[in-house]
C-alpha cells in the first residue's frame, strides 16, 4: 500500500506540535496533504473523511503526562474508516508518560489502525527568560529526525507490513490521573496595545479584547499561546504556583531529551 493522501490532525496552541507534524509530512512525501487543525474550536469538523490508503498523522502536546482534555474532546468528534494512523506527542523535555498511549487509544476508538507512533520535544509552554526549558525546540536536529521518521512511514506503508499489528506504544492503562486545574490565567500589563493577537490564538476563547483585555480564568488551560504570540511582551504568566513549577522544570529538566519513534 502506498500513501496517496496525507491528512494531519492536530491541536497545537504554541505550534511546536504543528512544526513536528509538518516535518514528518515532508518526509512522507505524499501526493497531497490536508491539515485539520482543531486548536481553535471553530475549526473542528464533524467528520474526518479518509479513504483506506490515506495516511493520518494525529498530534497533540503533553499536559501533565496526558493529552489535554480539550484536545481529547475535539479529537473525539472525528471518525475514520480504518485508515492507518500515526499518533505523535510533543512534550517540554520533562516526560510524556501516558500521553502517547492515550492518543493511540483515541485514534483506535475512532476507527483508525496504528501504523507507528512518536514522541518529540518542543519548547516548554512555561519557558521564559528566567526559567528556560527546552528553548527553541524543535530545532534543526529534531526536524531532521521528524523528516526521517516520515520517510520510514512511507517505506512501511509501501512494503505492505501495515497490519502486522506489532507496534508497541509505551504508557500505562489506566492513565495517570489528571491534576485539578486552578482558576487563573496569564495577565496583560501596561505594554498591551490591545491588538487582539492574544484573543485570536486562544484555543478556548477565554480572552476578549475591547478597551481592555479580559480573560476567563475558568476557561484558560495555561497553554501560553497568548504569552508567546504577544509582540509587545505584555502578556505574562504570573500565577505563583506555575512560576514555582517553571522554576522546578528549569532546574531539573535541562538535560536534552531526544525524540523517540515506535515503528
Ligand atoms: C498545562 C501544561 C502542562 C504540561 N505538561 C507537560 C508534561 O507533563 N511534560 C512535559 O514534558 N511537558 C509538558 N508541558 C509542555 C508542553 O508539552 C510543550 O511545551 C509542548 O511543546 C507544547 O506544544 P504546542 O506547541 O503544540 O502547544 C505542559 C504544558 C502545559 C501548558
Q: Quick one: pLDDT band at residue 161, thresholds 50, 70, 90?
A: low
Top mutation candidate among 71, 125, 224 for ligand 1, by most atoms within 8 Å of CB: 125
Q: Is 62 in the pocket of ligand 1 (CB under 6 A)?
A: yes
Condensed to tens digits (0 to 9), the pLDDT of residues 174-189 reads 999 999 999 999 999 9
Q: Is 90 in the pocket of ligand 1 (CB under 6 A)?
A: yes
H or E element that contains 140: helix 140-158
Atom of ligand 1 at shortest range from CA of 18: 26
Domain boundaries, the chain: 5-174+256-262, 187-238
**Spatial separation of the C-alpha atoms in residues 60 and 55, rounded to whole Å:** 17
Distance 1 CA to ligand 1 centre (A): 35
Condensed to tens digits (0 to 9), the pLDDT of residues 46-80 reads 766 666 678 999 999 999 999 999 999 999 888 87
What is the overall mean pLDDT for the chain?
93
Residue nearest to atom 6 of ligand 1 (CA): 63
pLDDT of residue 41: 81
Residue 1 pLDDT exceeds 60? no
Range list of H helices, 65-139: 69-76, 99-109
Distance 84 CA to ligand 1 centre (A): 26
Top mutation candidate among 93, 120, 124 for ligand 1, by most atoms within 8 Å of CB: 124
Q: Is 239 in the pocket of ligand 1 (CB under 6 A)?
A: no
Asked whether the CA dihedral 77, 228, 23, 31 is positive or negative, the reply is: positive
pLDDT of residue 158: 87
- The CB-side HSE value for 216 (13 A sphere, CA atoms) comes to 10
Q: If one looks up domain 5-174+256-262 in CATH, what number appears?
A: 3.40.50.360
Distance 33 CA to ligand 1 centre (A): 26
Atom of ligand 1 at shortest range from CA of 94: 11
Instruction: Give 105's contacts (C-beta < 8 A, 6+ positions apart).
Output: 173
Mean pLDDT of 151-156: 94
Task: Tell me what percent of the residues of the chain surpass a pLDDT of 70.
Answer: 94
Q: If one looks up domain 187-238 in CATH, what number appears?
A: 3.30.70.20
- DSSP characters over 157-181: HHTT-GGG--PPPP--SSPPPPPPP
Atom of ligand 1 at shortest range from CA of 12: 26
* Inter-axis angle of helices 140-158 and 16-28, nearest 10: 40
**Spatial separation of the C-alpha atoms in residues 109 and 107, rounded to whole Å:** 5
Distance 21 CA to ligand 1 centre (A): 16
Distance 118 CA to ligand 1 centre (A): 15
Angle at 11 between CA 18 and CA 88, to 5 degrees: 65
**Secondary structure (3-state) at 89:** strand
Amino acid at each position: 500500500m502506498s500513501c496517496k493522501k496525507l491528512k494531519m490532525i492536530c491541536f497545537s496552541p504554541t505550534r511546536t506540535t504543528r512544526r513536528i507534524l509538518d516535518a514528518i509530512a515532508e518526509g512522507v512525501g505524499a501526493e497531497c496533504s490536508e491539515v485539520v487543525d482543531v486548536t481553535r474550536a471553530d475549526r473542528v469538523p464533524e467528520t474526518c473523511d479518509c479513504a483506506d490508503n490515506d495516511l493520518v498523522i494525529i498530534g497533540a502536546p503533553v499536559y501533565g503526562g496526558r493529552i489535554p482534555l480539550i484536545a481529547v474532546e475535539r479529537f473525539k468528534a472525528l471518525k475514520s474508516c480504518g485508515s492507518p494512523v500515526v499518533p505523535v506527542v510533543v512534550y517540554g523535555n520533562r516526560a510524556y508518560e501516558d500521553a502517547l498511549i492515550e492518543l493511540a487509544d483515541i485514534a483506535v476508538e475512532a476507527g483508525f489502525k496504528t501504523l507507528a507512533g512518536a514522541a518529540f520535544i518542543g519548547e516548554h509552554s512555561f519557558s521564559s527568560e528566567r526559567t528556560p526549558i527546552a528553548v527553541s525546540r524543535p530545532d534543526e536536529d529534531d526536524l531532521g529526525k521528524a523528516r526521517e521518521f516520515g520517510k520510514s512511514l512511507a517505506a512501511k506503508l509501501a512494503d505492505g507490513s501495515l497490519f502486522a499489528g506489532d507496534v508497541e506504544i509505551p504508557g500505562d492503562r489506566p492513565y495517570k490521573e489528571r491534576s485539578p486545574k486552578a482558576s487563573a490565567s496569564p495577565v496583560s500589563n501596561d505594554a498591551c496595545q490591545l491588538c487582539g493577537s492574544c484573543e485570536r490564538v486562544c484555543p478556548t476563547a477565554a480572552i476578549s479584547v475591547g478597551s481592555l483585555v479580559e480573560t476567563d480564568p475558568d476557561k484558560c488551560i495555561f497553554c501560553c499561546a497568548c504569552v508567546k504570540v504577544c509582540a509587545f511582551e505584555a502578556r505574562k504568566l504570573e500565577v505563583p504556583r506555575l512560576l514555582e513549577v517553571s522554576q522546578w522544570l528549569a532546574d531539573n529538566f535541562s538535560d536534552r531529551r531526544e525524540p523517540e519513534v515506535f515503528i
